[in-house]
Amino acid sequence: MRADYLFGQPVKRGHVRVVRETERHWNYREQKYETEEGDKYEGDVDADGRFGSAHQPRPGARRAEARRLFSLSRSFLCGYFTDATTNRTEQRRFDLRLTKDPIHVYIH
Asked whether the beta carbons of 38 and 17 are under 8 A apart, the reply is no
Question: What are the tens digits of pLDDT across the range 87-108?
Answer: 999 888 877 666 666 776 777 6
Please give the Cα distance from 62 to 97 (Å, whole number).
18
Measured CA to CA in angstroms, residue 6 lies from 1, 11, 31, 86 at distances of 16, 10, 29, 14
Question: What are the tens digits of pLDDT across the range 15-42?
Answer: 888 888 878 889 999 998 888 888 788 8
Question: What are the tens digits of pLDDT across the range 59-83?
Answer: 555 566 656 655 555 567 888 889 8
